[in-house]
Amino acid sequence: MASNKIQFRSIHELKDPSLNGKLALKEFQEEIPVEDFLGDAEKSDASTTRRDFLKLLGFSTAAVTLAACEAPVIKTIPYVVKPHDIIPGVPNYYASTYFDGFDFASVLVKTREGRPIKIDPNPAAGDLGKTNARAQASVLSLYDNDKVKQPKFEGKDETFDKVDDFVIKGLEEAKASGKRIVLLSHSFASPTFKKLFAEFKAKYPTAELVTYDAIPYAASLDAAQEVFGQRALPVYDLKGSELVVAFQADFLGEYNAASLETSYAVARKPGANMLRHIQVESNMSLTGANADSRYRLKPSAVNKTLVEVYNAIVGGGSSDKLANELAKELSAKGSKAVVFADGSKGAQVLAHLINQKLGSVAFTGKANFLKEFDKARFQEFLGWVNGGQVGVLITNNVDPIYSHHKGQDFKKSLAKVPYVIAVADKKNEMYKAAKAVIPVANWLESWGDIEPQSGVYSLMQPTIQKIYKSRQIEESLLVWKNGKNNAANNYYDYLKANSASVLGGTSFNKALYNGIVASTNATTLSYAGGNAAQAVAELGNFKASDLELVLYTKTSIGDGTQANNPWLQELPDPLTRMSWDNYLTISPKDAKDLGIENDLNARMQLDGSIVNLTVNGVTIKDVPVFIQPGQADGSVGLALGYGKKDSGATADTGVNAYPLFDGSNLVISNVKIEKTGESHEFAGIQLQNTLMGRYDIAKEVPLTEYLNVAFDDEHHGWNKPLEYHTISGALPAGKIDLWDAFDDTDGPHFNLSVDLNSCTGCGACIIACQAENNVPVVGKEEIRMSRDMYWLRIDRYYSAKEKIETKEGVERGLNVPQLYDILIEPNESPDVIFQPVMCQHCNHAPCETVCPVAATSHGKQGQNHMAYNRCIGTRYCANNCPYKVRRFNWFTYNLNDRFDFNQNNDLGRMVLNPDVVVRTRGVMEKCSLCIQQTQATILNAKKENRKVTDNEFKNSVACASACSTGSLMFGDMNDKESEVRELYSSNRRYHLLEEIGTKPNVFYHTKVRNRAEN
């Protein structure tokens, strides 16, 4: 017999049987007021108990989860005929060339179902295939929703047909009247582009190609012209060098249009012939932070020291103590030494002449063609514009109004040009000044070629159809040269035909497959001149002042070409660890004298003074000031490339420093600072997850001690193996365990090696990890709240004035801010160590034992796994992680108007990797050692019935693949031939916090400093 009992879940349901239906209809119609409690200052003081808060948070998370169970209806169109080169779920790789006018790299582009999602270095290109953070992030710039999306005429949408009519009309009028036609382009070392422009000029004889770069390397090119007789930059290789002395030269950054990271890392391998690096500079640069010995001097003093070193080297002697010491070391090393200098033409001329005197083997004789700016010709162009001689001006994705120090004058003079056409990617100043606008095609949508240096030819190919109605400059020139709808307007055919003269016997398809090949251009540089007296006089004319300014570029933003890329804006600066800002760096002493403050509150958030900066009569208002240890007294630094207006929501960050830059001299005197009384909120990530103050985290040892003292010496060992003292006596840490070990010899067991000696802190690995693993951008406000989502961070450690253990801090009554103030207060010229930290994938992981739902567990291959749909967000694992590498999703970052970055729009989400799930609010996440890649590598080998090679595993994690210096090395410990297993046997190897017994699968190598210790 059926039961007559009424079943109900509440008294309210019993009284109203229709309640269930009503609740079902209204279940998620109203927004749950989480923000009322999490964001309202007045309600934050309410007497809400912890239990109530957790109930609220738990209910809201549950609501989102239940709502997600009903997926939206999306109409899809299946393949009728599948493209033969696309297999769903399997990536394709294409060799191409990354070039945006500022950066160059030969790369492999990873695509999924026809869309690029990742940039990898091209191993066939050697040093020219290494990628920096900007190259890694460039794939996101393809999917920039703020781009110009179709041609414009007088501010309104128009077709290419109508715009071409306007341009051709202007070209014909200029040709008839004899007025000049100027194509103003960034440096473009493309043989095919040059040939095409020559043909364009043949049709329009008054046409001129003028080069303009925001950061033009004018001083470097002028110095090369004088010393080598050619306007090309010299190429250096440090592999055979044993001493490098740099004066203001950030050669691990953008010095001479190429980073020397790779050869630098090779030369820095610990040993008897290890490269010694001496840096003399004002700003604490990335290169200076990696130096063995660093001397901080204001720019005028750096110039003086360089002159004295030159005098001592050529035999004139010097009364300067530092200069004599440097000259002595340089002379002793002879041809195995090299000098770099930057800041002005005179400094670089002297550096070249010193290298000539030394016979430096670092000078290869090869020429770098990536920079072509000629200041005299650009000034001539400005004269044409001001004189009304230009009939047509076509700008190829450059914006002098923003980046030239007299940009506003240039803007006014454009009124004298009847036809202004901007080939642009953003609605910037040039866009607004032009009558016609053509959206520029991204490099991932374009065909092209580049000749970056002597004997090298690199091809660019599109890896996706043009997303919007865009066109590269070469396509436009073909249309304007040949006329509309001409069969010869296909740039691919034109490029293929022209490349035959450069490729020699190599087929075009083979060159395209490899991405980079040898060219017939064998240009070499040799010392042919150089006026030392003139260079000395130029440096002597630099007038010293109380404060002197050094302009520089950050590793993230560069010249500002990709300023609207949120990955790059959020990437912390390697030294300051600040993101979403540029700022005036100042020394602690000068800050104290000027009353400038940086205050750290109890949440570890940094606030700083704001000033107005005046340089030679030009004022930039509201510049935040960051007190930078290692900054030379009497000097300040400011990064270029920020403060771009009308170039996207993200680009309008920071202040524009270009009005202070004359295009040649990066060092400027006559600087004044005026406090505004206002305060700036910085967003930094150094303090929230640092392991500072906990034992020996970033280890280092002098080279002489490394070579002459056994690492495990009982009394003086510099890397003594850890031992535990037990009732049975001292035992090695590896012999003592709380748990039974399991067999991990069957199949691969992964380890990651991190060499602190070769990590420069460049950040390319961070962006590579972000791209591969769909790590969201959270914005400045969340970064300031210590809620970054990075799976990999690079901690920067200074040598502190005082070392305080936690126990001592308690005994002295120091609270947390006071303790950190002491720990982070470095010496006046501190040593710096960069330490990448990711999930350590502990074999005995503290996180695993505390998870109440087993969301995190250990795999047989050594990886610590995360099951996102099992995680309930207790955060116990994060609390129990000694390495602070786990991240909690405070919000759903995708499809969330609060986080208006790439994951908030359909175009931006095209960059997401479909092999990695997009996480949602309330779950924990962290490094997985790119498990999707390692498993794909294993499965590929299994299908081919073969063993995985060590090289395949090396490139299967994003961070190691992107590392230009080889600091990160990944591999299988069960492969006896693997490099990671060999590295594990090094006497420099150690584990982070080994004493707590977590047994990580990530290990580190002690940093070695090549200098005599006091």
Q: Is the separation of the CB atoms in 953 and 748 below 8 Å?
A: yes
Predicted confidence (pLDDT) per residue in 480-527, tens digit: 999 898 989 999 999 999 988 888 778 889 999 999 998 888 889 999
Task: Give residue 711's pLDDT.
Answer: 84
Task: Give residue 18's pLDDT.
Answer: 57
Task: Give residue 70's pLDDT.
Answer: 46
Q: Is the separation of the CB atoms in 259 and 368 below 8 Å?
A: no
* pTM listed for this prediction: 0.88
Residue 1007 is encoded by which pair of tokens? 């940093």
Report the amino acid identity of residue 529. G
Quote the CA–CA distance of 597 and 278 in Å, as a whole number. Answer: 31
What is the number of other CB atoms lying within 10 angstroms of the CB of residue 204?
A: 17
pLDDT block averages, 10 residues each, the chain of length 1014: 38 44 41 45 46 48 44 54 76 92 92 92 91 94 92 92 94 93 94 95 94 93 94 94 95 86 93 94 93 93 94 83 92 94 93 95 93 93 94 94 93 93 93 94 93 92 92 94 90 92 86 88 89 92 91 92 94 92 93 89 83 93 92 94 89 92 90 92 71 67 91 84 80 76 83 94 94 93 90 84 54 60 63 92 92 92 91 91 91 87 88 91 92 92 90 90 93 91 93 88 94 71
Phi, psi of 989 (to 5 degrees): -75, 135
Smallest CA-to-CA distance from 527 within 228, 187, 852 is with: 228
Task: Give residue 203's pLDDT.
Answer: 94
Residue in this structure with the two tokens 């200074």, named with its chain if needed:
798
Task: Give residue 503's pLDDT.
Answer: 86
Beta strands (DSSP E) in 504-581 are: 516-518, 548-552, 578-579
- Tell me if residue 771 falls in helix, strand or coil: helix
Within 314-426, residue ranges assigned H as helices are 321-333, 345-358, 375-386, 400-403, 407-413
Q: β-strands 700-702, 635-639: how paired? A: unpaired
- Strand pairing partners for 1007? 700
Q: Is the separation of the CB atoms in 30 and 36 below 8 Å?
A: no
Residue 1009 is encoded by which pair of tokens? 């400093």
Within 230-374, residue ranges assigned H as helices are 261-267, 286-289, 299-313, 321-333, 345-358
Q: Which residues contact 606 (CB under 8 A, 6 or more apart)?
A: 578, 598, 599, 600, 681, 682, 684
Beta strands (DSSP E) in 492-544 are: 516-518
Predicted confidence (pLDDT) per residue in 255-276, tens digit: 888 889 999 999 999 999 999 9
Beta strands (DSSP E) in 440-558 are: 448-450, 456-460, 516-518, 548-552
Quote the CA–CA distance of 776 and 692 in Å, as a whole number. Answer: 26
Task: Report the C-alpha dihedral over residues 688, 690, 695, 698, rounded to 10 degrees.
Answer: -170
Task: Give residue 657's pLDDT.
Answer: 94
Task: Give residue 99's pLDDT.
Answer: 93
Residue in this structure with the two tokens 């391998």, named with its chain if needed:
269
Q: Which residues contact 29 (CB under 8 A, 6 or more apart)?
A: none
Report the amino acid identity of residue 580. W
Q: 3-state secondary structure string, 797-857?
A: EECECCCCCHHHHHHCCCCHHHHHHHHHCECCCCCEEEEEECCCCCCCCHHHHHCCCCCEE
Report the amino acid identity of residue 808. E
Beta strands (DSSP E) in 692-807 are: 700-702, 723-726, 729-732, 750-755, 793-798
Quote the CA–CA distance of 45 and 36 in Å, as a whole number. Answer: 12
Smallest CA-to-CA distance from 465 within 863, 910, 20 is with: 910
Task: Give residue 258's pLDDT.
Answer: 83
